[in-house]
Amino acid sequence: MTELFLGIDGGQSATKAVIGDGVGRILGRGKAGPCNHVQTGDGRGKLEAAVKASVSEALAAFNAGWEETRFRAACFGMSGGPADKQAILEAMIAADAVETTTDAQTALLGATGGEPGVMVIAGTGSIALARDAQGRQARAGGWGYAFGDEGGAYDLVRQATRAALRMEEGWGPQTVMHAALLEATGCATANDAMHAFYTDGWPRNRTAALAPLVTEAAEAGDEIAAGILETAGAELARYAAAARNQLFSPIETAPVAYVGGVFRSRPVLESFERSMRVVPGCAVTAPRFAPDVGALLGAYQLAGVQTEIQA
């Protein structure tokens, strides 16, 4: 059987696996739940279950099974940091080589196709990462929901909730996000919704999934929602510019790719593009590949295999 290579994008919202052969053909894909933390509660069990389920689904696409499959190399891009996951994944996956890195690293590989450039990712959280021709890297953001992640989906819901609370308490303007938030959560008041978001019933990925209600409100003419999205795009552009400027001179042109579900919001993307136009040497572009394919590229690099992805 042909040599197999595995890439996994393990994020706060989902775990995605992609398997390729020795010449860059993608043979199978799989998806399971989030697996970003292993040190809290049943985190390790969730990690192991999500990885096994996503890889098994990808293997099933070409009638292969978990028990009998060995990979030439496997690369894991993991949210929440790689240090506490490497040993667990090495024990789980039958592979000649296993590398665990951050999901931002593999997203950058995918976004630029392994070439020099900049990537800003806005999923549940947010971060920007840059890499130059010498392999040097720089980052901006990625501080997590408590201290940063501006422009990420969780932050959008946090800002919407704050706006709804201000309206409810009479010290903020009217916004249709108030009613939308109550309908989405089943709560009687914005205060109840806020308290619900602190409970285990509303983990970060579930809360972040409410972000589209901000775009819906803005498209309905809500100025408060529109302002939240405008600010989100500008903050994401600040991340990208900060990462870019650490490695590239003003006269160099660097591609700046955008990754993540938040950019499906047209107002956020338009705000991001407007803000990037004033940064010298930036060329905003859609990503070449998704983060899971970036992890697959990492697996090929780990094995020293040069190939073109046939996605």
Stretch 178-192: mean pLDDT, rounded? 97
- How far apart, in whole angstroms, are the C-alpha atoms of residue 308 and residue 311? 9
- For 233-302, the three-class secondary structure string (H helix, E strand, C coil) is HHHHHHHHHHHHHCCCCCCCCEEEEEECHHHHCHHHHHHHHHHHCCCCCEEEECCCCCHHHHHHHHHHHH
| C-alpha–C-alpha distance, residues 213 and 88, integer Å | 37
| 227: CB partners within 8 A, 6+ apart | none
Dist CA 161 CA 198 (whole Å): 12
- Per-residue pLDDT for 279 more than 80? yes
CA distance 58 to 9: 13
Position 48 pLDDT exceeds 90 = no
- Report d(CA 223, CA 68) in Å as an integer: 56
**3-class DSSP assignment, residue 137:** strand
Q: What percentage of the chain exceeds 70 in pLDDT?
A: 97
Report the pLDDT value the prediction gives residue 83, as an integer from 0 to 100.
Answer: 76
Taken in order of first residue, the domains within the chain and their CATH numbers are 5-111+290-303 (3.30.420.40), 114-287 (3.30.420.40)
pLDDT of 54-113, one tens digit each? Answer: 999 999 998 988 888 999 999 999 877 777 788 888 888 999 999 999 888 888 899 988
Query: What's the predicted TM-score (pTM) here?
Result: 0.79
Tell me the pLDDT band of 38, cut-offs 50, 70 and 90.
low
The pLDDT tens digits of the residues spanning 158-183 come to: 999 999 999 999 999 999 999 999 99
Phi/psi of residue 271, each to 5°?
-65, -40
